[in-house]
Amino acid sequence: MCGIVGYIGSKDCVPLLINSLKRLEYRGYDSAGLGVISNGESQVIKRKGKVSVLEKDLDQITLKQPNLGIAHTRWATHGVPNEVNAHPHFNTDKSLFVIHNGIIENYLTIRKGLQSLGYDFITDTDSEVIPQLIDSFLKKGYALVKAVHLALSKIEGTYGLAIVYANEPDKLIAARKGSPLVIGVGNNENFVASDVSAIIAHTKHVVYLEDGEIAEIYKDKFYTRTLDEEIIDKEVHKITMTLDEIDKGGYDHFMLKEIMEQPLSVCNSMRGRLIADKGTSKLGGLEAVEDKLVQSKRIVLSACGTSWHAALAGEYMLEQHTRIQTEVEYASEFRYRNPIISPDDVMFFISQSGETADTLAALREAKIRGALVLGICNVVGSSIPRETHAGVYTHAGPEIGVASTKAFTSQLVILALITLNLARKRNMSLIDGKNIVKEMDLLPKKIEQILKLNEQIEEIAEEFKDAENFLYLGRGYNFPVALEGALKLKEISYIHAEGYPAAEMKHGPIALIEEKLPSIFIAPQDSTYEKIITNIQEVKARKGRVIAIASESDKNIDSLVDFSIKIPETIRMLMPILSVIPLQLLAYHIAVKKGLNVDQPRNLAKSVTVE
pLDDT digits 0-9 by tens, 340-362? 898 999 999 999 988 888 999 99
pTM, full prediction: 0.82
309 & 411 share domain: yes
Predicted local confidence at residue 479, as pLDDT: 95
Q: Which of 608, 28, 598 is nearest to 303 (CA)?
A: 608
The pLDDT value recorded for residue 380 is 84
* 494 in the same domain as 594: yes
Q: Is residue 535 part of a domain?
A: yes
Task: Say if residue 481 is in the same domain as residue 456.
Answer: yes
Strands 518-523 vs 469-474: parallel, antiparallel or unpaired: parallel
Query: Strand locations in 94-171, DSSP E?
Result: 96-101, 159-165
Residue 315 lies in a domain: yes
Q: Is the CB of residue 392 less than 8 Å from the CB of residue 285?
A: yes
Share of the chain above pLDDT 90, in %: 71
Could you say which of 245, 269, 300 is where a domain stops? Answer: 245
Distance from C-alpha of 22 to C-alpha of 183, rounded to nearest angstrom: 18
Instruction: Give the pLDDT mean for 16-39.
Output: 85
Domain end residue (candidates: 225, 245, 265): 245
Q: How far apart are CA 586 and CA 562, in angstroms?
A: 15
Q: b/e for 287-301, b at 16 or more Cβ within 10 A? A: eebeebbeebebbbb
Same domain, 480 and 406: no
Confidence of residue 278 (pLDDT cuts 50, 70, 90): very high
Residues paired with residue 96 on neighbouring β-strands, in sequence order? 165
Domain end call among 245, 273, 308: 245
Q: Please report, for the domain that includes residue 594, its CATH number.
A: 3.40.50.10490
Q: 394-418: buried (b, 16+ CB within 10 Å) or exposed (e) per residue?
A: bbbbbbbbbbbbbbbbbbbbbbbbb
Residue type for position 331: A
Of the pLDDT bands very low, low, confident and very high (cuts 50, 70, 90), residue 64 is: confident
Report the candidate in 396, 370, 377 with the shortest Cα–Cα distance to residue 577.
396
Same domain, 476 and 606: yes
Write out the residue range of the structural domain in which residue 323 sits: 248-441
Q: Is residue 517 part of a domain?
A: yes
Burial class (CB in 10 A: 0-12, 13-18, 19+), 527: exposed
> Do 17 and 164 fall into the same domain?
yes
Q: Which residue has the higher pLDDT, 447 or 178?
A: 447
Q: What is the pLDDT of residues 373-400, one digit of tens each?
A: 999 999 888 889 989 999 999 999 888 8
Cα–Cα distance, 316 to 410 (Å, whole number): 17
The answer to whether residues 348 and 404 belong to one domain is yes
Give yes or no for residue 606 having a pLDDT over 60: no
Q: Same domain for 52 and 147?
A: yes
Residue 607 has pLDDT above 60, yes or no: no
Q: Mean pLDDT throughout 424-439?
A: 96
Lowest-confidence region among 166-175, 195-204, 275-284: 195-204
| Weakest mean pLDDT among 150-154, 381-385, 579-583 | 381-385
CA 191/CA 172 separation, integer angstroms: 9
pLDDT in the model for residue 297:
92
Element (DSSP H or E) covering residue 259: helix 254-260
Cis peptide bond N-terminal to 180, omega within 30: no
Among 2, 13, 304, 377, the one annotated catalytic: 2
pLDDT in tens, 113-143: 999 999 999 998 999 999 999 999 999 999 9
| Number of domains comprising the chain | 3
The answer to the question of residue 447 being in a domain is no
Nearest of 128, 95, 104 to residue 114 by alpha carbon: 128
- CATH of residue 147: 3.60.20.10
Residue scoring higher pLDDT (420 or 353): 420
For residue 609, pLDDT over 60 is answered with no
Residue 180 has a pLDDT of 86
Is a pLDDT exceeding 70 seen at residue 458?
A: yes
What radius of gyration do the chain's Cα atoms show? 26
Please, which residues bridge with residue 545 across strands?
A: 518
Q: Which of 219, 406, 490, 606 is catalytic?
A: 606
DSSP code at position 172 = E
pLDDT digits (tens, 9 = 90+) for 65-93: 899 999 998 877 766 878 888 889 999 99
Residue 8 has a pLDDT of 97
**Residue 201 belongs to a domain:** yes
Distance CA(345)–CA(17), nearest Å, equals 46
Band of residue 179 on the pLDDT scale cut at 50, 70, 90: confident
CA nearest neighbour of 341 among 393, 384, 287, 302? 302
What was the pLDDT predicted at 608?
56
pLDDT band, residue 27 (cuts 50/70/90): low
Decide if 311 is inside a domain. yes
Q: Are residues 411 and 469 in the same domain?
A: no
Half-sphere exposure of residue 489, counting CA atoms within 13 Å on the CB side? 29
The pLDDT value given to residue 261: 95
Local structure of residue 134 (DSSP, 8 states): H
| Centroid of chain to Cα 297 | 30
Q: Is there a single domain that holds both residue 436 and residue 462?
A: no
* Known catalytic membership, residue 593: no
Residue 330, in any domain of the structure: yes
Average pLDDT, the chain: 91
Query: Are residue 461 and residue 539 in the same domain, yes or no?
Result: yes
**Is the predicted pLDDT of residue 324 greater than 70, yes or no?**
yes
146 is catalytic: no
Q: Is residue 579 part of a domain?
A: yes
Q: Could you give the strand order of the β-sheet that contains 325-330, starting from the edge strand earlier in sequence?
A: 325-330, 298-303, 346-351, 372-377, 390-393
Answer yes or no: do 269 and 161 share one domain.
no
pLDDT at 568 over 90: yes
pLDDT at 605: 59
Average pLDDT over residues 498-513: 81
What number is the average pLDDT over the span 416-444?
Answer: 97
